Amino acid sequence: MILGNSKPAQVLEADGLQRRLPDGRQLLSDVYLRLTTGTVTGLLGRNGSGKSTLLQAVFGPQAVADASVRHNGRYVQPAYRQPGLVNYLPQTPLLPPNMTLRAAAQWLGVPTETAFARFAELRARQAEPVGRLSGGLARTAEALLLLHAPTHFTLLDEPFAGVSPVQLEELAAEIGVVRQRKGVLVSDHNYRLLLPLCQHLYLLTNGVLRPVSPEHSVEELIAHGYLPPTEPPLRQYSVP
Ligand SMILES: Nc1ncnc2c1ncn2[C@@H]1O[C@H](COP(=O)(O)OP(=O)(O)OP(=O)(O)O)[C@@H](O)[C@H]1O
């Protein structure tokens, strides 16, 4: 496939992902996942279904036996060691609290004017240490820096957690813009914000990852039993 900017689409695939917990529960059962540039892929599942474990298995720090991770068909495990391939926002804070946003941007190779173009408060506070920002603002900054960093793919684990309503809309819009040149995987419990962004959607239930149509409404996904009847309370995100 050729994208609008004439660059061939990049493909990041993982298969054979297996993870059994010490208590015997099969958390991931022969999972196959495919990401392409030019799209947002949503990853949904109940609390504790293994979404974070899956993202870590793709990114690479959590080695998974028999797994195969490939970039355009070439074996790249661990993916994080491949320059310019993929970056990852974990569920926990990424940036050290004493690092300034400006230093973080330099470290990631992103001009702050680009990453924070639509976020005046972050531009104004780029000389401050991350630990002085509210948890939601720090989360927004981390997600924006990774989205604008020069990688083909970005994996975001709960980027919307703790983010204020105004910034939520802006961050979601930014994901929609960035995906024109990147492949973005987002796992989040804010289904109503996430679903409209997605061109592809996966549901992780009982260790099995299955693709579903992103055309489904949240209500349909709940009715099919894929999602809990009520959304869990948004976890508060705080920088220690
Ligand atoms: N190394 C481990 N040893 C024991 N249990 C583990 C280990 N790693 C993960 N788990 C358990 O596996 C389950 C899945 O964890 P994971 O964080 O991947 O789920 P999740 O879908 O991201 O959950 P949430 O939506 O709540 O963030 C949890 O019950 C967790 O406690």
pLDDT per position as a tens digit, 36-50 = 999 999 999 988 999
Q: What is the pLDDT of residue 231?
A: 53
Ligand 1, atom 9, lies closest to the CA of 53
* 240 CA to centre of ligand 1 in angstroms: 21
Distances (CA, A) of 53 to 1, 31, 48, 113: 30, 12, 9, 33
Give this prediction's pTM: 0.91
Q: What is the C-alpha end-to-end distance of the chain, expressed in Å?
A: 44
Strand order in the sheet with 200-205: 86-89, 153-157, 183-187, 39-44, 200-205, 208-212
Q: Probe ligand 1: pick from 19, 25, 53, 62, max atoms within 8 Å of CB?
A: 53
Please tell me the distance between residue 215's alpha carbon and the centre of ligand 1 in angstroms.
28
Alpha carbon of 82 to ligand 1 centroid (Å): 26
Q: Which residues line ligand 1 (CB under 6 A)?
A: 21-22, 27, 45, 47-53, 91
Is pLDDT at 228 greater than 80 in this prediction?
no
d(CA 124, CA 108): 19
- Report which residue type is found at 63: A
Closest atom of ligand 1 relative to the 54 alpha carbon: 18
Domains defined along the chain, listed by start: 11-224 (3.40.50.300)
Token reading at 168: 């939520």
C-alpha–C-alpha distance, residues 115 and 120, integer Å: 11
Q: What is the model's pLDDT at position 17?
A: 86
Atom of ligand 1 nearest to the CA of 56: 18
In angstroms, rounded to a whole number, what is the distance separating the alpha carbons of residues 122 and 116? 6
